[in-house]
Amino acid sequence: MIKIGKKEIMSNIIMAPMSGCTDLAFRTMVRKHGAELCFFEMVDAASLIMKNKKTFQMLKTNSKDKPIAAQIIGSDPLQMLDAAHILLDTVPDILFLDINSACPVRKILRKKSGAYLMKSPETLIKIAKTLSYTGKLKLPVTVKIRIGYYKNDLPFLTDLVKRLEDTGISAIFIHGRTCKQMYSGEVDYASIKKVKDTVSIPVFGSGNIFSPELAKKMISETGCDGITVARGALGTPWIFRDIESYLKTRELIIHKDIMSKKRNTMKEHIRYIEKFKGCLPGGEGNIGLMKKVMMWYIKGFPDAKSLRNKICRIEKYDELMDLIE
């Protein structure tokens, strides 16, 4: 069990927010395979205030989709506070709210949001103070950061996390790469460990958690309180149960006939998309999303290259299901 503010979660292995991925269908799949706490997709503060329909669709949930956390992105402290209230009015039972200062995508950086805040620390501190220190939200606030913007600067990083802790935030999520690295290069475990050693609030490490062994390495080398799994769950939702088992027994779960398992899970995932997304008759309304999901699951198939070519040419739901069969 681990506490984030006054909220308790039983597992320290969390499903991270991923734009265009962690919708209700995705969260349903990973929960069935061992994930306890999941995030909505990252939501933009300005889009919430403008009542953007697509943004509110990203907050679709149900009674089984719990516990759930949210992550918000923006650069204006007061705007983010207003957006946070809208978010809470929409989904009142959010466990905690995370401030994203880690997204390295160019269109986000152009808005001076996401990982841009790593080179604008005063803005990040103001946002954290506005959302957390004032206590106006009545729920825990956390922050997602990277180890730096251009490079790893430990004095800067340790000063930043100390100041963030002083704002009253309840946890820090940290990706072990710089903004410029995006998702390439080695994960800097030493920097995550330094953050863990600097603050007294929980620290969750992320980056390259594609297997139970890498999850164990993250925890062992950093001493972090927990981990967040992101790309490692794409096409392998059972990674959560695999990690939990490995951390307890040091033995890997052997999946017999993994190709059949992937194929059957892929079909189930696509059925959930059809169920939750309000598809047009036959599923054509979300055929693009379904094709993307298929690409995740066929990784490792002997005929993956041929399957990718076939998936790219699919235009109808029936064609898609025929290929799965």
DSSP-assigned states of every residue in 79-108: HHHHHHHHHHHHSTT-S-EEEE-----HHH
Instruction: Classify burial at 284, counting beta carbons within 10 Å of its beta carbon; exposed 0-12, middle 13-18, buried 19 or more.
Output: middle
CB atoms < 10 A from the CB of 213, how many? 14
**3-class state of residue 14 by DSSP:** strand
Output the six-digit token pair for 96. 């905690």
Q: Is the dihedral of CA 17, 30, 186, 96 positive or negative?
A: positive
- CA–CA distance from 164 to each of 123, 170, 223 (Å)? 11, 10, 20
Among 38, 103, 179, 224, the active-site one is 103
Closest CA to 44 of 19, 15, 7, 61: 19
- Angle of helix 212-222 relative to helix 239-249, nearest 10 degrees? 60
CA–CA–CA angle 283, 287, 289 (5° rounding): 120
Report the 10 Å Cβ neighbour count for 86.
16
Rounded-to-integer distance, Cα 108 and Cα 100, Å: 11
Pull the structure tokens for residue 206.
């992320």
224 classed as catalytic: no
CB 35 within 8 A of CB 240: yes
**Mind telling me the catalytic residues?**
103
